Amino acid sequence: MALRLGDIAPDFTAQSTEGEIKFHEYLGDGWGILFSHPADYTPVCTTELGRTAQLKEEFAKRNTKVLAVSVDPLESHHGWKNDINETQNCSVDFPILADPNREIATLYDMIHPNASEKATVRSLFIIGPDKKIKLIITYPASTGRNFNEILRVLDSLQLTAYESVATPADWQHGQDVIVLPSISTEDAIKKFPKGVKEIKPYLRYTPQPNL
């Protein structure tokens, strides 16, 4: 059965370029991003892992650990990592999980039914501290992931997990947010001392509360 938002992210133990990983234990009480690649030594994925390494400090600021996975064996991962570091001017120091038996790919419904056995679906999962899946994005093999969008969504998820707000279309960190409809305007004025702007009774904005 396909995973859905709100499901517990399946736990697993796997070998990686950073040693053995027990997934839930590795994430601890922080956030996690797990993203899959069809195979090593593929051009789009090479740029993606390089970009992930370049954004190390951004993920750290958000208390988020990042893991990549492909169905190739560990030895292949180590060789590919050297290529990534060389071509993308970075240092990959996050785990690349080896999944030669496709156990993780099966747990996370990454197997593509109409392609070769190595063609796992290119899915990305954001997982909260409660180990529940907060976001799933699936990309075609030809399109590289937008890491600015991944960071933007992560900011939104972390904000809305702890504040009674939602984020509007194209929202960026620091911009106004939407007051949840479950809160009356009277209560919102008390809850958000920076002010509440009512456009419609159901559409009310307030400055980002955690700044």
Q: Considering only CA atoms, which of 94, 93, 45, 37 is closest in space to residue 69?
A: 37
CA distance 53 to 84: 10
CA distance 168 to 207: 12
User: Residue 9 gets which letter from DSSP?
Assistant: P
Catalytic residue among 45, 92, 126, 154: 45
CA distance 132 to 149: 20
Whether the Cβ atoms of residue 108 and residue 125 lie closer than 8 Å to each other: yes
The tokens describing 110, both together, are 């990454």
Indicate if 45 belongs to the active site: yes
> Which residues are catalytic, by number?
45
